[in-house]
Amino acid sequence: MADTKKYITSEELKTHNKPGDLWISIQGKVYDVSKWAKKHPGGEIPLLNLAGQDVTDAFIAYHPGTAWKYLNQFFTGYYLDDFKVSEVSGDYRKLVNEFVKLGYFEKKGHTVLYAMSAVAVMFAIVFYGVLYSESVLVHMGSAVLLGMLWIQSAYMGHDSGHYQMMSSPGFNKLAQLLTGNCLTGISIAWWKWTHNAHHIACNSLDYDPDLQHIPVFAVSSKFFNTITSSFYGRKLNFDSLARFFISYQHWTFYPVMCVARVNLYVQTFLLLFSRRRVPDRVLNILGILVFWTWFPLLISCLPTWSERIMFVLVSFAVTSFQHVQFCLNHFSANVYIGHPNGNDWFEKQTNGTLDIACSPKMDWLFGGLQFQLEHHLFPRLPRCHLRKVSPMVVELCKKHNLPYVSLSFWDANVRTIKTLRTAALQARDLTSGVPKNLVWEAVNTHG
């Protein structure tokens, strides 16, 4: 019987990569997701970034097995005639299937219960310390505890945002709003908007928003040529102000991290009150209002303005640990310019990510994100399984000669500061906005 399937080439598929004309391939079958993009639970950015390609690995990484049954409604009738699976992709998919059989994606462990209990206890102690003590030391201790509460709550918001935390989408959404909007004041809608883009385009200078910190930071001198951000839809201008700040970024890094939380509040408001399409906008705004009710009221209960200001600064400074950690995971890893691809998932994540080595006793402090590579490869995997799957990831990296970088917290800090210092010295070494040492940049792809 003759083959009646209709085929298109990868080159033809690439032409369908514009808003309103978004085609993707999964395991060689071609789907039209143009109308679905605005309804996509992960936002339209991942589809816009990956359209025109085979995206099997990215789809497997982000979707449970139940999602496959919904694909047929988007099937175009076409197949890729040059569809191939690389050896590393094949091994990656086998590893995912093994985790599925072991039930790792469904078994949440007791981490959620412990984390929620810890946050509830800390929240009660913070309020008790502020309301029922007149001691300045107790008040500052409460500020420290509030900072720790925000760190742990952010980890839970992250986990629920990846649908790792609860057993159903509805409970996950509730957890997102409580741990993100209500407790930390940071919109889960903003987080999902940026974080999904970050995962899909890990360490692409023009597609990954987590590296786009001009004019304050630049991890590569490639930013000195004024890159256009695909995510924000604007130019990241390297002007005289940016040059000044970046020239001293290895000195300002930690002080900025102490107040980095302010930027997250600003970004939350900019998104929620923008004209962009924001899923669950009303719920997100209500959650933010909860935070901006209890937090100012708590501060107002302190006796003097000096204590109030110190309370805020101390609580923000404590969260700097988490902001630093997020930077350590990617700032000093390999970077690139250009479009992310769907089927070099394993390669891109290993090149753009590094782990923080620590004792299992410290897992609570790092929230599982010390296994950043494992998390990037398997974003749906609950954090309680990340340590046990790490040796398998190491073996796969060795087999395919891919980097697996795991550093102590101290060494990761040193490497990040060196990266920032290198870019800072290059920013000072400019003539008419052009790096003098382009040869160095050409032979070094890392940040």
- Using CA atoms, how far apart are residues 146 and 21, in angstroms rounded to an integer? 47
How far from chain centre, in Å, is Cα 239? 27
pLDDT at 141: 97
Whether residue 59 contacts residue 6, with contact meaning beta carbons closer than 8 Å, is answered with no
The CATH number of the domain holding residue 37 is 3.10.120.10
In a domain, 66, yes or no: yes
Backbone angles phi, psi at 54, to 5 degrees: -80, 125
**Residue 47 forms part of a structural domain:** yes
Report the domain count for the chain: 1
pLDDT of 173: 86
Query: Looking at residue 43, what is its pLDDT?
Result: 86
SS3 135: coil
**Phi then psi dihedrals of residue 155, to 5 deg:** -65, -40
Question: Is residue 62 within 8 Å of 42, Cβ to Cβ?
Answer: yes
Query: Domain residues for 13?
Result: 6-84
Residue 376 lies in a domain: no
Residue 231 maps to a domain: no
Q: What is the pLDDT of residue 411?
A: 97
| 48 inside domain | yes
Residue 442 lies in a domain: no
Alpha carbon distance 369, 382 (integer Å):
11
Of residues 119, 92, 329, 46, the one with CA closest to residue 211: 329
438 found inside a domain:
no
The whole-angstrom separation of Cα 199 and Cα 231 is 13
| pLDDT averages per 10-residue partition of the chain, 447 residues | 78 93 95 91 89 93 90 93 92 95 87 88 97 96 97 91 75 88 94 92 94 95 93 92 96 97 96 91 96 98 97 97 96 91 86 95 93 95 94 96 96 97 92 45 40
Which whole-number Å values give the CA distances from 326 to 152, 215, 261, 314, in the listed order? 14, 19, 13, 20
The structure's pTM equals: 0.90
Closest to 353 in 3D by CA, of 447, 430, 229: 447
Which pLDDT belongs to residue 164? 65
Instruction: Say what the pLDDT of residue 3 is.
Output: 61
Does 13 map to a domain? yes
